[in-house]
Chain A
Amino acid sequence: MTNREPVAANSALPRGATIEVDPLRRNQRPASDRFEPLVEIQHLTVEYGVGAVAVSGFDLTIGRGEIVGIVGESGSGKSTLAYAVMRLLREPAHIREGRILYYQGDSATELLAVERDQLRALRWSELAIVFQSAMNALNPVMTLHAQIDDVLRAHDRTLTRTSRRERGEELFKLVGIPLDRLRAYPHELSGGMRQRALIAIALALKPNLLIMDEPTTALDVVTQRQILDELLRLRAELGFSMMFVTHDLALIMDIADRIVVMYAGRAVEAGGPEDLLRDPRHPYTIGLLNSFPTVSGPKRRLTGIPGFPPNIAELPQGCAFHPRCDRALDVCRQQVPTFTVEEGSNRGVRCWLHGASTTLGAEASVAEEQCEPAKLARNQGSDMDRGRSSGP
């Protein structure tokens, strides 16, 4: 069961799991970086079976203590991406290409290359995941305490029963669940409580990265808000990073330090929430923003986006969004635009309307190779003024 997703055998990547980070390369990072890198996803490509590419050449760096929102419609590959980072993909999904580096001190671990035992040790103690439906994610025949207890025991055999119980109580206090609920079974809790319990379990081993796969989608708006506030407080307190996958752009704008908009397995736009709200560039982002009302601000027509997300097995040629785009050019129908990062900022967009070069030619593909990796990590303090502390 564990580790079912095969990493392509013919991958040209180095197989060694631990990689020394070139100190020079680290020093090259601009001093303005707010966050030290924690996880670096490089050119990740996930395929379902043969030919259905769910995530395509995806690059993303998540900083320590940073909240990165991944936004997209159903089928955009955002959940696949989240599962890939945890190496939880199941057949027929498999990782065709790419690396995921997890930084610990001066070395980095290649998550896709680690052996099963090392993976088991890394899971939960370094990376934890919170699923969308807590009802389904909790084992119905075990008490909540037993579900915290077993992960504590699995990772540290020296813990005594008492210390494990204390840790369970501590975690429940942390997420605001009455302590007597530790003895409860999942079905005895309300939906919001269950989601909190799931978060408590995720925090059991103080992970550095919390992957949230639509953790609040199944909840009512009030509970959603409470849990998001709780998460921000916990992030400030514990300093973990979050990769927050959601389809709700309005929600993620409220909490993320940086947002990546995904479409058909690719990042189409990235930037701070303010930037995206004030100055969305990709027609898809603009469409998303026009799909929901703002509470404050002027009244405007909600337009939505015409058409449907494409079938990942039969992506249109060129930019995958062009059939739904009212501003599509000829070049959009022929060639996938590169992800172009604005110099000295964390903004990037994959659109011929905003590319540095809109001419067909060799430079375009060369540019794609060169300018994608890691630039996304360059996050400037554009949202420092939002008054949220962000860990270390």
Chain B
Amino acid sequence: MVYLLRRTVFYVLTAIIALSINFFIPRLMPGNPIDSLLARFSGRVTPRTLASLNALFGLQHHEGLWGQYFAYWRALLHGNLGISFTYFPTAVSHVIGASLPWTLVLVGLCTVLSFIVGTAVGCIVGWKPGSFLDNLLPLTTFFSSIPYFWLGLIALFVFSGLLHWLPVSGAYDSSVSIGWTWSFIASALDHAILPAATLVISTISFWLLRMRNMMVTTLGEDYILLAEAKGLSRMRIMAMYGARNAILPNIASFAMALGFVVTGSILLEVVFSYPGIGFVLYQAVSNEDYPLMQGIFLVVTLVVLLANFLADFCYILLDPRARDEA
């Protein structure tokens, strides 16, 4: 418990530092977001509009850097992340709020699915190394060595372009309205199949291979031999003595992978024009949309920290040795 408390304090401090860096880095860059906004409006802006824009973005020069910094924190704590340029005049929090769920559901579920299936298959393959199941390994390695956006492009070309089985882009059909209706869910699933399949196929080998190798290592342990000598059933030995120990290093990696759900999806969402947070980040970068970038980095920072915390917690839960070191 003391350990968890200590970790919590550590993560809060890390978050504060990360968010401060998040504030300073864009301001160390030359130029000013208003200039780029003005460029987009190409001179059709009056000085009064400019002043109000400056006020809106919190860029009044008389405030100074520290003044801006504290204003930033005040705004942050109120959940006010500023106004996006790209989606002007929508608030950044609103843009993120609209895109994040798509990413969390699609990439999050795929990461979980990939981990569960990969680990389960890896466990079985590792139980009998050298059996015919080992032939799975080159196949999965092949798919994981292909860049997944390329795999995505091929999948799009074949299943959407040639066969017209699945939609090319988006997260749902624009003709259905968002809500818990069958037509919407069916449409969302239809649009998610290709990106989900691409993601699972390209990441599953990572978990499979790791679990298999850990399983093989674990099976060489004396406690497996002892479990066998005890006359326990094979299922019991495989689950409680083998997999239970072999999975430990993977738990931490899994939590880390969850942390990268938000950022890891950029290429995927760009390829499939999926309106998730990665796609929005891509838009923000191409449009020099600093408030939006800052907002997304904030989300990324928090998610990564949360995932790390989750990893710590799982480890303590699953490994009694970690509990005592704590």
Chain B, range 234-266, C-beta contacts under 8 Å to A: 234, 236-238, 240-241, 244-245, 248
Please tell me which stretch of A37-45, A47-55, A119-127, A292-300 contacts chain B, meaning at least 4 of its Cβ atoms lie within 8 angstroms of it: A119-127
Please tell me which stretch of B135-143, B270-278, B318-326 contacts chain A, meaning at least 4 of its Cβ atoms lie within 8 angstroms of it: B318-326
> Across the interface, do A124 and B230 meet the contact criterion of CB distance under 8 Å?
yes
> Across the interface, do B127 and A138 meet the contact criterion of CB distance under 8 Å?
no
Q: Which of B241, B244, B245, B320 contacts A187 (CB 8 A)?
A: B320
Chain B, range 215-229, C-beta contacts under 8 Å to A: 219, 221-229
> Across the interface, do A140 and B127 meet the contact criterion of CB distance under 8 Å?
no
Other contacts beyond A88-B225, A139-B227, A140-B245: 7, CB < 8 A: A1-B219, A88-B229, A139-B241, A141-B318, A151-B231, A154-B230, A154-B232
Q: Can you spell out 16 A-B residue pairs with CB atoms less than 8 angstroms apart?
A: A1-B238, A2-B228, A86-B229, A120-B232, A123-B231, A124-B230, A125-B231, A128-B229, A129-B229, A131-B222, A136-B221, A141-B320, A150-B230, A154-B230, A188-B320, A188-B324
Chain A, range 107-146, C-beta contacts under 8 Å to B: 119-125, 128-129, 131, 133, 136-142
> Across the interface, do A1 and B228 meet the contact criterion of CB distance under 8 Å?
yes
Q: Which residues of B contact A90 (CB under 8 A)?
A: 225
Determine the distance from Cα of A188 to Cα of B318 in the docked complex, in whole angstroms.
16
Determine the distance from Cα of A150 to Cα of B237 in the docked complex, in whole angstroms.
10
A-B contact count (CB 8 A): 88
Task: Say if the beta carbon of B233 comes within 8 Å of chain A.
Answer: yes
Q: Interface readout for A277-318 with B: 1 if CB under 8 Å, 0 if not?
A: 000000000000000000000000000000000000000000
> Across the interface, do B230 and A1 meet the contact criterion of CB distance under 8 Å?
no
Q: Please tell me the number of chain B residues within 8 Å of chain A, measured between CB atoms.
A: 30
> Across the interface, do A124 and B231 meet the contact criterion of CB distance under 8 Å?
yes
* A131-B231 contact given A136-B221, A139-B245, A150-B240, CB 8 Å threshold: no
Task: Say if the beta carbon of A155 comes within 8 Å of chain B.
Answer: yes
Closest 7 CB pairs of A and B: A123-B231, A136-B222, A185-B320, A120-B231, A137-B222, A151-B230, A139-B223
Q: Which residues of B contact A201 (CB under 8 A)?
A: 226, 230
> Across the interface, do A150 and B236 meet the contact criterion of CB distance under 8 Å?
yes
> Across the interface, do B240 and A139 meet the contact criterion of CB distance under 8 Å?
yes
Taking the closest CB of chain B, its distance from the CB of A350, in whole angstroms, is: 30
Taking the closest CB of chain A, its distance from the CB of B121, in whole angstroms, is: 17
* A140-B237 contact given A133-B222, A151-B231, CB 8 Å threshold: no
Q: Which residues of A contact B240 (CB under 8 A)?
A: 139, 142, 150
Determine the distance from Cα of A155 to Cα of B233 in the docked complex, in whole angstroms.
10
Determine the distance from Cα of A119 to Cα of B221 in the docked complex, in whole angstroms.
21
Residue of B nearest to A120 (CB): B231
> Across the interface, do B223 and A138 meet the contact criterion of CB distance under 8 Å?
yes
* A137-B226 contact given A1-B237, A154-B232, A154-B236, CB 8 Å threshold: yes
Determine the distance from Cα of A124 to Cα of B227 in the docked complex, in whole angstroms.
10
> Across the interface, do B324 and A121 meet the contact criterion of CB distance under 8 Å?
no
Q: Which residues of A contact B244 (CB under 8 A)?
A: 139, 141-142
Taking the closest CB of chain A, its distance from the CB of B312, in whole angstroms, is: 17
Residue of B nearest to A133 (CB): B222
Q: Which residues of A contact B128 (CB under 8 A)?
A: 1
Chain A, range 218-237, C-beta contacts under 8 Å to B: none
Q: Which of B222, B223, B234, B321 contacts A2 (CB 8 A)?
A: B234
> Across the interface, do A123 and B223 meet the contact criterion of CB distance under 8 Å?
no
Determine the distance from Cα of A326 to Cα of B65 in the docked complex, in whole angstroms.
90
Taking the closest CB of chain B, its distance from the CB of A208, in whole angstroms, is: 14
